[in-house]
Amino acid sequence: MGLRVSHVDLPHDDLWVRAPDQSIKRVQVKSARRAIQRKDHKGRSLIYNFKIDRKEPYEGIYIFVALDIQKCIARTWDDKPPVTFKITPTRFIAEDETESIQREFKL
């Protein structure tokens, strides 16, 4: 997709990404090993849970990675993100992965 990625070891950034327009994007990577079963009003369903540190605002991009299926989704928030971001396994498909990366990195 034309992105250059550098791993950084900083308190709030995991990656710095250079987009094709030469801008640098700050990225936090959040991962889950597998989806877990949860009980809700519809019965039982699988969900990936991602913890987000909200102590201070983050003006970067989050990459949520489902390790067991090797898919990711990129996401930003205009306001405060939730403490726990939940994603159903059905969202981790190639089309959503590509579209979210293109949207968040303005490709």
Work out how many domains the chain is built from and give that number: 1
pLDDT score at 42:
66
Is 46 inside a domain boundary?
yes
**What is the domain range of residue 87?**
29-104
| Exposure letters 20-44 (e unless 16+ CB within 10 A, then b) | eeeeebbbbebebeebeeeeeeeee
98-106 average pLDDT score: 94
State how far the alpha carbon of 48 is from the alpha carbons of 5, 62, 78, in Å.
Answer: 25, 15, 22
Is 100 inside a domain boundary?
yes
pLDDT score at 2:
83
Is 11 inside a domain boundary?
no
pTM of the model: 0.88
Q: What is the pLDDT of residues 31-88, one digit of tens each?
A: 999 998 877 666 668 899 999 987 777 889 999 999 999 999 999 988 888 888 999 9
Is 35 inside a domain boundary?
yes
Is 2 inside a domain boundary?
no
Cα(14)–Cα(12) distance, integer angstroms: 7
> Is it the case that residue 8 has pLDDT exceeding 70?
yes
Is 3 inside a domain boundary?
no
Is 23 inside a domain boundary?
no
Check residue 95 and report its DSSP letter: H
Is 8 inside a domain boundary?
no
